[in-house]
Amino acid sequence: MLCSPGIGHLVPALLFGRRLVTHHNLQVTILAVTTTTTPTAQSQLLTPFTADIHLPVIQIPAADISSVVSPDAKVVTKICTMMRETIPTIRTTISSMDPRPDVFVADIFSTESWVIAEEFGMPKYVFNTGNAWFTGLFTYSPVLDKKVVGQYVDQTELFEIPGCKPVRPEEVVDPMLNRDDEDYRVYLNQAIGVTLADGMLINTWENLEPQSLQALRNNKILRSIPVYTVGPIAKKYEPVGLKTEVIEWLDKQPERSVIYVSFGSGGTLSAEQITELAWGLELSQQRFVWVVRPPAGYDKEVSFFKSGHSGEPNSEPEYLPEGYLTRSKKMGFVVRSWAPQVEILSHTSVGGFLTHCGWNSTLESISSGVAMIAWALYAEQRMNATMLTEELKVAVRPEVLPTKKVVGREEVEKMVRCLIDGEEGKAMTEKVKRLKEGAEEALSVNGSSYISTCKFVDDCWSRIQQSI
């Protein structure tokens, strides 16, 4: 399984790899392409996934792309270029493996590596860590590209994706926000690459997205390739080792009383937005755990010299309102940079999740039966937020102040109260618990995702046999 840089890509690959090893008796090797900013985090991350089973992870340093793309290039361009430029190392790594793999699985940013699968005669499958609705838009984008004139965001009509729910112009994925940007071309290229796979694995399940899945299978969007639903691929909490401070704090709080606030592995807010969020949490008078990161564009070095010790966990970060940590000590727990998310979400004291709607975070919240505040930031998260609020009705969505482009403190206060303290929050929690049960059913023996994974494994075997 080839995995592009990013924790949001690596975690589901590790989890799915584990499942193939433990439940389906396959040998799996993960090729994780890493960048200079991620290797340490990734090494620590790997242990819980690989310590007790044979799941080799080969970390491949990403090729240097500084002479190929501009430093201002957007994220999809950077990731896909890295994956393309790393192809020679990936090829060498695979050719030195003994035994050589029989099947090649790559994520949606890695489809240029199909050439390697073809060279080695391996069937090639795409591992899509997003959901089916996003996949509909993604794979239909080359058609929209021909149909739509002008910028997508300037259109007044919804985008019809055959068989799927339509997509609002302002909710298209990030690379579609500006058609003149190189990122859009790279994105379209990947969308075409995905359709060249022998099959597609999607991190969703039949009962969650029946409409979009049917649309993907009826040949109107995708050319006819098998679609396997293997989700939810979401980490489960298993107690290991000592409790962290945040869990000890949660142990002391009443049941369903805490809102957990986190924006994924890399989401950042503006300085103004951090201030509004901080005040909103305080005004709500509800308990919270907040994974705080410096605002976008924040110069860590400057702040280090200014405060002398801003890297220490108990120091007051200057991007929070003055005295905030001290004031909110009773009601809140601020975690700097990284928290044990799955453990937090599984804690009985947690009653809501203010999330950036990354698909992994979303699935972890559903799998823990926790209702959400859908605060989308980037990528396909606006679509995820719409699905969670309008279709599944397990989240509330903040209104953004049109003049300031931030979510104001009153709005934060209102949403947090609604989720933790209100009737609407209770109703959403009941709904999300039903989704959790549906997810567990899908994964159980003879459940839809279990059967679909077995089908994927069987299809791999028949393709391998055909090629012998």
Kindly list the residues in this chain that would bind ligand UDP in the complex (CB under 6 A). Answer: 6-8, 11, 262, 264-267, 291, 338-339, 341-342, 358-361, 364
Nearer to ligand UDP, 13 or 215 (CB): 13
**Please, what's the largest Cα pairwise distance for the chain?**
69
Nearer to ligand UDP, 131 or 257 (CB): 131
Minimum CB separation of residue 334 from ligand UDP in Å reads: 12
Nearer to ligand UDP, 168 or 336 (CB): 336
What are the φ/ψ torsions at residue 99 (nearest 5 degrees)?
Answer: -75, 155
Minimum CB separation of residue 259 from ligand UDP in Å reads: 15
What b/e sequence results for 104-117 when a residue is b if at least 16 CB atoms lie within 10 Å of its CB, and e otherwise?
A: bbbbbbbbbbbebb
Per the CB < 8 A criterion, the answer to whether 366 and 435 are in contact is yes
Minimum CB separation of residue 345 from ligand UDP in Å reads: 8
- Concerning whether 180 is annotated as a catalytic residue, the answer is no
Minimum CB separation of residue 468 from ligand UDP in Å reads: 38
Residue 289 DSSP class: E
Nearer to ligand UDP, 77 or 361 (CB): 361
Per the CB < 8 A criterion, the answer to whether 150 and 163 are in contact is no
Between CA 14 and CA 235 the distance in angstroms is: 10
Say how far residue 17 (Cα) sits from the centre of its chain.
Answer: 17
Angle, helices 182-195/75-85, rounded to nearest 10 degrees: 60
Nearer to ligand UDP, 117 or 388 (CB): 388
Nearer to ligand UDP, 204 or 225 (CB): 204
Angle, helices 448-467/423-443, rounded to nearest 10 degrees: 40
CA distances from 121 to 67, 433, 448 (A): 32, 44, 30
Q: Which of 23, 52, 98, 107 is catalytic?
A: 107
The closest of 183, 232, 229 to 210, measured between CA atoms, is: 229
Minimum CB separation of residue 158 from ligand UDP in Å reads: 26
CA distances from 290 to 51, 87, 303 (A): 30, 39, 20
Length of the chain: 468
Nearer to ligand UDP, 122 or 247 (CB): 247
Angle, helices 409-421/423-443, rounded to nearest 10 degrees: 70
- Concerning whether 107 is annotated as a catalytic residue, the answer is yes
Minimum CB separation of residue 50 from ligand UDP in Å reads: 16
Nearer to ligand UDP, 144 or 366 (CB): 366
DSSP conformation letters of 305-352:
HHHS-TTSTTS--TTSPTTHHHHTTTTEEEEES---HHHHHTSTTEEE
CA distances from 366 to 143, 395, 437 (A): 33, 11, 9
Minimum CB separation of residue 77 from ligand UDP in Å reads: 17
Per the CB < 8 A criterion, the answer to whether 57 and 66 are in contact is no
Per the CB < 8 A criterion, the answer to whether 212 and 136 are in contact is yes
Minimum CB separation of residue 247 from ligand UDP in Å reads: 13
Between CA 400 and CA 19 the distance in angstroms is: 40
Listed in sequence order, the residues at least 6 apart from 67 whose beta carbon sits closer than 8 Å to its beta carbon are: none
Between CA 153 and CA 310 the distance in angstroms is: 40
Nearer to ligand UDP, 94 or 173 (CB): 173
Angle, helices 210-217/132-147, rounded to nearest 10 degrees: 50
Q: Exposed/middle/buried for 326, CB within 10 Å: 0-12, 13-18, 19+?
A: exposed
Calculate Rg over the CA atoms of the chain. Answer: 22
Minimum CB separation of residue 366 from ligand UDP in Å reads: 12
Active site amino acids? 9, 107
